[in-house]
Structure 1
Amino acid sequence: MTHGGPDALGAAPHDFSTNANACGPCPDALSAMEAADPRRYPDPLYTALRERLADFHQVDTRRIVIASSASEFISRITMAVARRGGRRIQVPPQSYGDYLRAAAAWGLEPVSRGADLVWCCDPSSPLGQPQEGLDACIEGQGAEATCVIDLAYEPLRLEGALSLTRERLNAIWQLWTPNKALGLTGVRAAYAVAPPGRDEMTAHLAALAPSWPVGAHGVALLDAWTRSTTQQWLEESRATLRSWKSAQREMCEALGWRCMPSVANYFCAKPDVPYAAERATALRAHGIKLRDAASFGLPGHVRLGVLPPASQQALRLAWR
């Protein structure tokens, strides 16, 4: 699948193709990483970090699983389910391609019900919308199914709230990747919160992990994520993003694009003319990059992360 971000030409000055928080980087997180000591290995069990994350989520420390990235955890939990006899996977209609890519590597068949591994995502990617029928999807799974909700964009939800009750959320696996919300996507670090009573599965996942999946800078990022000052900065950044998003949608609609609804810091739109390779190349020459949504199952659409007004103006001028 295609992915946003830097390419062979480097980083685009106006990169709408990723969903990182454009208000970042978060000052506290950046300072924490600058102070990190890369001369030494982290604690291989991440004892203090897991305790801080557990306190942040108000859960038992045994429920925290450290991962090097969301994609690494997706691959690892898919492997774990397959090794335990799982053969079927369920994903949302439009979703992150790594769910199915990992499933294909382990021979899991996509199904619409009765899956052994169920993926949810809210807000969804690429649409940035609440997942339709989320509660019913979780409720309908068998007791032996492994259900994971990808919460990569929950910290960047600009409208509404997650529809799940705390009890329902507590009953499934939660995957968190704070680097997007902190505007530091180049630092790979993630973690999952296991449902209670899944000690055997968490131990299996630990056994499948490489040694030191997260380095010193990733540990610093996840530690900073739990601080109240970081969460306050994030709250303030969401207010800014709401303003920028409103202006960006108005700009796109003025160009004749049809914008789809979204509650997150990104949205999909259908441009007034096809986003063909020639146009993408021409925009890239102007320092602008969009995300073609065809690989998400939305041909003819693009996904745009919300960027500051100067980048919006650059897109408007270059498109015309």
Structure 2
Amino acid sequence: MDVAGLGDGAMAVIAHGGPDAQGVPAWDFSTNANAVGPCPSALKAVQQVDARHYPDPAYTALRESLAAFHAVDAARIVLAGSASEFIGRFTAWVAREGGQRIWLPALAYGDYAHAAQAWRFERVHDAARAHLAWLCEPSSPLGEAEAFARQVVASGAQVVFDRAYEPLRLGGRCSLEPQALNRVWQLWTPNKALGLTGLRGAYAVAPEGAEAEARELDRLAPSWPLGAHAVAMLDAWVSPTAQAWLAQSLDTLRAWKAGLCAGLTDAGWRVLPSDAPFFCAAPPRALDVAALRAAGIKLRDTTGFGLPGHYRLSAQPPEAQAALLDALRTCGEAVA
């Protein structure tokens, strides 16, 4: 999601990748979900859920499995209905504790700003003045490392490190060492890596020594933030079978991304570097986005991210790439 208007009194303008009012695109380059998915073992686990019963309201077994996966105490696990739900809840908690100022990367996922706007946070450009700071790596929309990650962690703010795309990292390495990661809130959203974005479910790993704060966040959550299907997805996520499938999928995504970048470059696009299976690129001329959408092609305009004249595209199978390049040749160029 992206959102415009933080700090200027304007109405928020919200946009997402994926399906829209016209339904599911035939060739969807706008979403960052793992296009190799869905993960077979995770999908099977979800399909076999007994939805007649509530899950354990304390999610005891799920907390323990997630904690074991990350080698932390279960008291450091905070469950969330989705990353967006956690972003809203965490922002509300910081505001309740007296926070008033937020630091954000220049280009970032719009829900951070959307939640901050709802709580009337002031956006500051010096992380040392912030009460709340958000990082995401690989970042969206660029898919790169955060240049100021170490300085932000040292700022003294409550720092959330959004790791939604870490499982899909195709190159490079995390800019924070384990010691620094232990000082921040790590937000995980496995549905993207598993190719199951229609399922909502996320969790955060609290900083070392922040167990009391984690319980405060739990108390701010509604009852049963995760349904039985989300529990099944997160249980499957930490299984060796799903992790092996994910590792294999990265090789396919690297090949698909290389082919897409080459095709767009040959068509005159300027492709920006990225460590993820998605990237931003600028077309040589303005696009007729409506005509592309009518042809079944959806791209992600990054103007709302603060990057005008570019589009974010995710690695897709060769047949999708062929459809995109054909549509760009026949109907993609805007009429002057």
Please indicate, yes or no, whether the TM-score normalized by the shorter chain is above 0.5. yes
Q: In structure 2, what is the equivalent of residue 158 of structure 1?
A: 170
Please, which runs of 5 or more residues in structure 2 have no aligned partner?
1-13, 330-336
Q: In structure 1, what is the equivalent of residue 53 of structure 2?
A: 40
Verify: 1:306 aligned to 2:315, yes or no.
yes
In structure 1, what is the Cα distance between the partners aligned to 2:231 and 2:123?
Answer: 35
TM-score normalised by the chain length of structure 2: 0.92
Q: In structure 1, what is the equivalent of residue 21 of structure 2?
A: 8
Q: In structure 2, what is the equivalent of residue 123 of structure 1?
A: 138
Q: In structure 2, what is the equivalent of residue 75 of structure 1?
A: 88
In structure 2, what is the Cα distance between the partners aligned to 1:66 and 1:203?
Answer: 11
Verify: 1:20 aligned to 2:29, yes or no.
no
Verify: 1:233 aligned to 2:245, yes or no.
yes
In structure 2, what is the Cα distance between the partners aligned to 1:51 and 1:170?
Answer: 18
Alignment map for 1:1-320 (pairs within 5 Å): 1-113=14-126, 114-139=129-154, 141-142=155-156, 145-275=157-287, 279-320=288-329
Structure 2: which amino acid aligns with 1:211?
S
In structure 2, what is the Cα distance between the partners aligned to 1:206 and 1:244?
Answer: 40
Overall identity of the aligned pairs, in %: 57
User: Which stretch shows the higher mean deviation, 14-23 or 199-208?
Assistant: 199-208
- Number of equivalences: 314
Structure 1: which amino acid aligns with 2:162?
D
How big is the shift at 1:200?
2.4
What do residues 21-68 of structure 1 show as CA deviations (whole Å, max 9, x unaligned)? 000000010011011111101111111000000000000000000000
How big is the shift at 1:260?
0.4
What do residues 130-176 of structure 1 show as CA deviations (whole Å, max 9, x unaligned)? 1112122212x12xx21100000000000021121111111110000
Q: Secondary structure at the match of 1:192?
A: strand
In structure 1, what is the Cα distance between the partners aligned to 2:107 and 2:66?
Answer: 30
Q: In structure 1, what is the equivalent of residue 8 of structure 2?
A: none
- Name segments (4+ residues, structure 1) moved above 4 Å: none
User: Which stretch shows the higher mean deviation, 237-246 or 199-208?
Assistant: 199-208
What do residues 43-96 of structure 1 show as CA deviations (whole Å, max 9, x unaligned)? 111110000000000000000000000000000000000001000000111000
Q: In structure 1, what is the equivalent of residue 10 of structure 2?
A: none
TM-score normalised by the chain length of structure 1: 0.97
Q: Please, what is the CA RMSD of the aligned residues?
A: 0.8
In structure 2, what is the Cα distance between the partners aligned to 1:121 and 1:6?
Answer: 24
What do residues 232-283 of structure 1 show as CA deviations (whole Å, max 9, x unaligned)? 10000000000110000000011111000001010000011113xxx11111
How big is the shift at 1:189?
0.3
Q: Secondary structure at the match of 2:167?
A: helix
